[in-house]
């Protein structure tokens, strides 16, 4: 007599991720439709600085285009962090939407807290205009990386990769974009930075280097 043993089939719920990807595509399509010229210059940001020159005014920091691309960056980067944590065994499954919500919340609070602290320090050193333009540059370059991450996230989410090399390459790319932002800032505001060199060093140490150092320590020790 042949014995049959039934096993429960566990089906990962990927619907929430699919809806998230559709929402991101919707943001991109809306921006391309409403601000076609601006969007076309934005997608050339990797090899052209025309976008940063055209929209360098600090008022663009709170424009609909910038805010929507910032939201896109948060969604995309949070998802990528979930995939990285899953790849390195920190999260059990990449379909864990609770973990994604926690990552998204932490990242949002972290970035917005940094933004408020930067505003306070910039006001104390009378560098509000420089701080707003510097934040605009950071948002632009990081949003661009977030845009690139969307198809990569889709590829990584619906497929399995045994090797960690691809993930390390993307993490190094993210680090390189941060460095590029500082180099572009130094080039555009060289005279102002040199006059306020103490503020710039204080900013780099307290708000850029230190937080990422602590996050790296937590990641490697847990």
What is the pTM assigned to this prediction?
0.81
**Rounded to an integer, what distance in angstroms lies between the CA atom of residue 10 and that of residue 8?**
6
Percentage of the residues of the chain whose pLDDT score is greater than 70: 86
Q: Specify whether the backbone of 7 is left (phi greater than 0), alpha (psi in -120 to 50) or beta.
A: beta
pLDDT beyond 90 at 119: no
Q: Say which DSSP state 127 is in.
A: -
Contacts of 74 (CB under 8 A, 6+ apart): 104, 107, 108, 111, 146
Helix 64-87 to helix 128-157 angle, to the nearest 10 degrees?
50
Task: Look at residue 2 in the predicted model and tell me its pLDDT.
Answer: 45
Provide the pLDDT for residue 7: 41
Of the listed ranges 22-31, 38-47, 103-112, 209-218, the one predicted with least confidence: 209-218
Calculate the average pLDDT of the chain.
Answer: 80
Task: Judge contact between 69 and 142, C-beta under 8 A.
Answer: no
Angle, CA 146 vertex, CA 135 and CA 70 arms, to 5°: 45
pLDDT tier for residue 31 given thresholds of 50, 70 and 90: very high
Rounded to whole angstroms, the Cα distance separating 216 from 174 reads 14
The pLDDT confidence band at residue 47, using thresholds 50, 70 and 90, is confident
Q: What span, in angstroms and rounded, lies between the C-alpha atoms of 86 and 88?
A: 5
Domain residue spans in the chain? 15-221
Q: Cβ-count burial of 14 within 10 angstroms (0-12 exposed, 13-18 middle, 19+ buried)? A: middle
């Amino acid at each position: 007599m042949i014995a049959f043993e039934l096993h429960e089939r566990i089906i990962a719920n990927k619907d929430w991720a699919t809806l998230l990807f559709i929402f991101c595509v919707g943001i991109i399509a809306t921006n391309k439709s409403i601000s076609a010229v601006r969007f076309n210059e934005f997608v050339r940001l990797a090899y052209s600085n025309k976008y940063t020159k055209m929209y360098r005014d600090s008022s663009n920091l709170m424009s609909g285009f910038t805010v929507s691309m910032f939201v896109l960056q948060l969604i995309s980067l949070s998802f990528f962090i979930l995939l990285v944590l899953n790849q390195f065994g920190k999260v059990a499954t990449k379909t864990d939407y609770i973990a994604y919500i926690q990552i998204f919340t932490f990242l949002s609070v972290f970035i917005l807290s940094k933004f408020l602290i930067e505003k306070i320090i910039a006001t104390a050193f009378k560098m509000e205009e420089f701080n707003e333009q510097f934040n605009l540059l950071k948002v632009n370059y990081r949003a661009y990386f977030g845009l690139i991450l969307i198809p990569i996230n889709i590829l990584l989410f619906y497929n399995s990769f045994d090797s960690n090399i691809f993930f390390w390459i993307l993490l190094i790319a993210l680090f390189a974009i941060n460095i590029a932002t500082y180099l572009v800032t130094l080039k555009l505001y060289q005279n102002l930075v040199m006059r306020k060199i103490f503020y710039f060093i204080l900013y780099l140490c307290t708000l850029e280097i230190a937080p990422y150092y602590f996050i790296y320590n937590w990641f490697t020790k847990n």
